[in-house]
């Protein structure tokens, strides 16, 4: 009985210590808060209300590669992994731009290009972020795909994004 009470007290103390250290993370620049691995879910994207989920890795240089993607309600279309980068960081806010090819799920033939711009804000504790995403779709084929363009015009879709931290880099400082 005493052992289980001591374990409970130790657990509460450990959680309080971890929470305090994470709460201090929001004082860091947003690039430092974003470094790590994130589970990202984007909703309100597809015409039938579908969503997509992926894993995003952000390094200290601002590269934000999107790896693996799961689409729900995509109607035979899939995304490729997406190269991305942090293009703005201001206070607790950020902007990430990425692009991915849309391909036929059965044949893998390119059907278009998706350029996405996340405009987000870190949440208290730096373990989550919320963002709005503008999605731009450009025609693309095997014969010709346009280069991603910073002047994209009006987005085809505006979506909601939620990111949850999965991991942070292991610190080598002692």
Instruction: Give the tens place of pLDDT for each residue, 116-164.
Output: 889 999 998 889 999 998 888 787 777 877 766 657 777 777 889 999 9
| Residue 96's CATH number | 2.40.128
Pick the closest to residue 45 from 162, 164, 163, 158 (CA basis). 158
How confident is the model at residue 38, as a pLDDT? 93
The answer, yes or no, to whether residue 103 has pLDDT greater than 60, is yes
Q: How far apart are CA 167 and CA 33, in angstroms?
A: 12
Domain with 118, as residue range(s), is 28-167
Number of domains in the chain: 1
Looking at the domain assignment, is residue 103 inside a domain? yes
Looking at the domain assignment, is residue 23 inside a domain? no
Looking at the domain assignment, is residue 84 inside a domain? yes
Looking at the domain assignment, is residue 49 inside a domain? yes
User: β-pairing, 84-90 with 64-72?
Assistant: unpaired
How confident is the model at residue 172, as a pLDDT? 55
Looking at the domain assignment, is residue 58 inside a domain? yes
Q: Where are the beta strands (DSSP E) in 80-150?
A: 84-90, 93-104, 110-122, 128-139
How confident is the model at residue 77, as a pLDDT? 60
Looking at the domain assignment, is residue 83 inside a domain? yes
Please name the residue that has the structure tokens 């200290």.
60
Looking at the domain assignment, is residue 37 inside a domain? yes
User: Cα torsion at 81, 83, 86, 88 (round to 10°)?
Assistant: -110
Looking at the domain assignment, is residue 143 inside a domain? yes
pLDDT tens-digit profile of 16-74? 434 333 443 557 889 899 999 999 988 877 656 667 788 899 998 888 887 766 665 55
Helices (H), 39-95: none
157 or 96, higher pLDDT: 96
* Distance between first and last Cα of the chain: 37
Range picked from 8-12, 107-111, 138-142, 165-169 for highest mean pLDDT: 165-169
């Amino acid at each position: 009985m005493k052992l289980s009470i001591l374990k409970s007290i130790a657990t509460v103390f450990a959680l309080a210590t971890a929470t305090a250290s994470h709460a201090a993370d929001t004082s860091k620049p947003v690039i430092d808060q974003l470094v790590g691995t994130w589970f990202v879910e984007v909703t309100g994207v597809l015409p039938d209300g579908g969503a997509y989920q992926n894993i995003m890795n952000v390094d200290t240089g601002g590269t934000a590669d999107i790896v693996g993607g799961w689409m729900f309600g995509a109607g035979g279309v899939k995304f490729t992994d997406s190269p991305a980068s942090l293009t703005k960081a201001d206070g607790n806010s950020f902007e990430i731009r990425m692009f991915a090819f849309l391909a036929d799920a059965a044949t893998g033939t390119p059907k278009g290009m998706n350029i996405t711009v996340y405009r987000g804000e870190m949440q208290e504790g730096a373990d989550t972020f919320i963002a709005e995403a503008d999605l731009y779709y450009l025609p693309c084929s095997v014969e010709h795909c346009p280069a991603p363009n910073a002047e994209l015009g009006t987005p085809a879709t505006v979506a909601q994004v939620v990111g949850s931290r999965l991991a942070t880099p292991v610190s080598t400082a002692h």
